[in-house]
Structure 1
Amino acid sequence: MTGPIINSPCPIRRLGSDAGHHFFGYYNKTVWDRTGRYVLANRVPMADAPLTPELEAEVGFFDLAEQDRFHRAGTTRAWNWQMGCQLQWLDGLAGRQLVYNCRADNPDAVYPGYASVVHDADSGAQRMLPLPVYSVAPDSSFALCVNYSRLYITHETIGYAWTQAPEAMPNAPADDGIHCMDIATGQSRLAISYADLRDFHPVASMDKAIHWVSHIEISPDSSRFLFLHRWTERVKDETCFLHRLITANPDGSDMRLLEDSDHPLPQLADDFDPSAVGTYDYEKSEYQISHPLWCADGRIIVWGPHAGSIHYHRYTDAPGAPVEVIGRGILTENGHMSFSPVDARWLLSDTYPDPDTHERILFLYDTRDNVRHDIGSFYADPNLKKENRCDLHPRWSRDGQSVCIDSVHEHERQMYVLDVSGIVGA
């Protein structure tokens, strides 16, 4: 039975008051440090700009005990509007240490031109790691790393600006894919190659396609990771992307295929016009597997199709295991979802902009009582397109009492905190 949707606005405030624009990026990690005092952020002088290899962003954090004063940890030219520079706390290390991606003069590296920086927020000390990170294990022992130049060619919104011609990127190389890097030493090995993925339960649509991975997420106990394997013959049209949800061990062993949305692609016709596709049409496709994330119990929540219909689904990390629909009839469109870190009763998510009002809804879903609480509505500038849009990307505080978002509803790109304690504590 479909539950009600309740308008439940929550107190909200903007973080920071300086002249810069601030954003974090993705929904898949908390911005708060373990004490709840510091909040990670990127700072830029403009709300929007085309990405180039020279465009610089400041990296740092707000100090909530000092009227949100922004502390700069460094600068980076390896970032994008959707995911920032993969800035994240290293919770498994002592003190307050964070990591972010950067560009580097390292022609002999696995990915020349890219690296990552570990910064100690207390001492200011820094050290360089030889690969750019995508996802860091909760115990901070290792990171999974990919080629952001490949992502810039295949899925520009999550890649780093690059100048090499697309035809120079092989479709499914055996010497590139997901690398596993030791955080302490910087040593790395190729865990899963694109050739491995093409040969894993292959389908005909892979033969002429270019392959990549995204949404790499490591399990809470750091023992497994999930990712989306994507492929296409037409990188400029996201509705032609094909998707699979896969899990594996950090060394690449024991790969498991949980879902495959391979489907017919009439868009491959020679006369198809990708420019006619709306900014958010891809996100609202009935075939897309999107935004997977580990739950605290080791299961996986994702928006995607299963058994002929598309929903918020919860998977067990085992092929053929029962798949649970979450919020049937009430959670009806794609969003950036995550469960409260302290109470799995509460699911946080958002919507993409309404095509007429351009409003995005931020909500909490009560899985026990089957009730959706709409806690805010935020205008999205329709002039911002795929590569430079500003999704809400909601993120929980560690105590489950607050939510942080990125937004442009006040005609600036800024970060906001909503107090949800009145709902989750009721």
Structure 2
Amino acid sequence: YFLCMESDFQDRPPKAGDSLAIGMVDLANNEFIPLTETKAWNFQQGCMLHWLEDEQGKTIIYNDRIDNKFHAILFNVETKEKKILPLPVQALSPDKKTAACLNFARWGVWRPGYGYAGVADPFAGQNKPEDDAVYLMDITSGAYKPAVNLAQIAHLTSDLDRRKDAPMWFNHLMFNTDGTRLVGLVRWWCPEAVDDVKNTTINIDGAVAERRHCLWMLNIGEDHPEIIVNDGLVSHAEWRDPDHILAWASSNLDEPHGYRVFNVMDKTNEVIGEDLLTEDGHLASCGRGLYI
């Protein structure tokens, strides 16, 4: 079976009342089998729909909105039984046992198209709320604990005055290939810091601002994140192995953008495909990592 989602429209962002159909295709006969629906989704990443590694291979996980909160849902495709988890999932560990979770409401405010509609940001008006955190959640029990919060990242990047009073939010999370590390992006909305035209946003009212970027890493089991990129650009990225991240990035404002391999152990990086890969884009490895 092949999991998929189906929308009734594609010409506008989803609103709070819009539902997304979740189903699967039987690859033996190409039949679409409807399963359920969700009201927590976007066009960029859907509802974070995944198969889980249960013994029968019949459980999926996805996000939904229930009683004005976002939750991850465990759903048995055969019995249609649901289990509601306390937080929504943004990334799954390789063994599918742990979810990394963030504030989709805040993400939707500051990066429309990536968060979800329908729930107000509980930290609206706060630029670096200490209680806005990435959480690690056990998929089986639903138990969760904070891993990294925005105030921690603000403290680690406090050397840059232009971001000091700017709103910030968590933006994408990724476990490494063996589940021992988690990286994530934090971004700031800086109306007064337009240094890089490729990061500049112009609102419909004419307001100009720039998104600033930080790539952080957490060793699972520890409580102190490390900064990999402080004030460059970080866009599409993926783990190459447990210790290396490939990203369209620059490690500071003076470096040109390009595909860079970051060594998270010694914090060095090197450019690959400098004259060939000249534009940002979605990337995926194949051939055991030999090709992208």
Structure 1 length-normalised TM:
0.60
Equivalent residue runs for 1:281-296 within 5 Å: 288-296=233-241
2:273 to 309, 327, 330: 327
Distance 1:222 1:238 in 2: 39
SS for the counterpart of 2:60 is strand
SS for the counterpart of 2:156 is coil
Distance 1:220 1:238 in 2: 38
2:245 to 286, 300, 303: 300
Query: In structure 2, what residue type is equivalent to 1:223?
Result: T
Residue 178 of structure 1, CA deviation: 0.5
Deviations 1:108-153 (A, max 9, x none): xxxx511111122344332111111100111122101111110111
Alpha carbons 1:313, 1:325 under 8 Å: kept: yes
Structure showing greater radius of gyration is: 1
Query: In structure 1, what residue type is equivalent to 2:223?
Result: S
The yes-or-no answer on 1:117 pairing with 2:54 is no
The yes-or-no answer on 1:99 pairing with 2:61 is yes
Distance 1:182 1:167 in 2: 25
Residue 183 of structure 2 corresponds to which residue in structure 1?
226
Equivalent residue runs for 1:97-176 within 5 Å: 97-105=59-67, 113-162=69-118, 164=120, 168-176=124-132
Residue 243 of structure 1 corresponds to which residue in structure 2?
213
Residue 73 of structure 1, CA deviation: 2.3
Residue 30 of structure 1 corresponds to which residue in structure 2?
none
Alpha carbons 2:172, 2:184 under 8 Å: kept: yes
Highest relative contact order (Cα 8 Å, sep 6+), 1 or 2?
1
Residue 2 of structure 2 corresponds to which residue in structure 1?
39
Residue 318 of structure 1 corresponds to which residue in structure 2?
265
Task: Sort the Cα spacing of 1:94 and 1:197 in 2 relative to 1 into closer, same or farther, 3 A.
Answer: farther
Task: Sort the Cα spacing of 1:92 and 1:345 in 2 relative to 1 into closer, same or farther, 3 A.
Answer: farther
SS for the counterpart of 2:288 is coil
| Percent of paired sites with the same residue | 28
Distance 1:141 1:336 in 2: 26
Query: In structure 2, what residue type is equivalent to 1:332?
Result: T
The yes-or-no answer on 1:78 pairing with 2:40 is yes
The yes-or-no answer on 1:338 pairing with 2:284 is yes
Residue 201 of structure 1, CA deviation: 3.2
Deviations 1:72-96 (A, max 9, x none): 2210010111111111222366523
Distance 2:187 2:43 in 1: 21
Query: In structure 2, what residue type is equivalent to 1:43?
Result: E
Distance 2:223 2:243 in 1: 18
Residue 14 of structure 2 corresponds to which residue in structure 1?
51
Alpha carbons 1:80, 1:159 under 8 Å: kept: yes
Distance 1:222 1:73 in 2: 30
Alpha carbons 1:144, 1:181 under 8 Å: kept: yes
The yes-or-no answer on 1:309 pairing with 2:272 is no
SS for the counterpart of 1:179 is strand
Task: Sort the Cα spacing of 1:251 and 1:214 in 2 relative to 1 into closer, same or farther, 3 A.
Answer: farther
Structure 2 length-normalised TM:
0.86
Alpha carbons 2:69, 2:119 under 8 Å: kept: no
Residue 198 of structure 2 corresponds to which residue in structure 1?
none
Residue 214 of structure 1 corresponds to which residue in structure 2?
171
Task: Sort the Cα spacing of 1:339 and 1:139 in 2 relative to 1 into closer, same or farther, 3 A.
Answer: same
1:205 to 162, 167, 179: 162
Distance 1:64 1:233 in 2: 48
Alpha carbons 1:135, 1:217 under 8 Å: kept: yes
Query: In structure 2, what residue type is equivalent to 1:102?
Result: D
| Length, aligned pairs only | 276
Q: Give the gaps of 5 or more residues in structure 2.
A: 192-200
1:60 to 23, 28, 33: 23
Q: Give the gaps of 5 or more residues in structure 1.
A: 1-37, 106-111, 263-287, 348-426
Query: In structure 2, what residue type is equivalent to 1:294?
Result: W
Alpha carbons 1:215, 1:292 under 8 Å: kept: no
SS for the counterpart of 1:46 is coil
Query: In structure 1, what residue type is equivalent to 2:181?
Result: R
Choose 298-307 or 180-189, whichever is displaced more.
Answer: 298-307
Deviations 1:221-263 (A, max 9, x none): 111111111112348579600001111023552422111235x
Distance 1:132 1:167 in 2: 17
Query: In structure 1, what residue type is equivalent to 2:263?
Result: T
Give the structure with the higher percent strand: 2
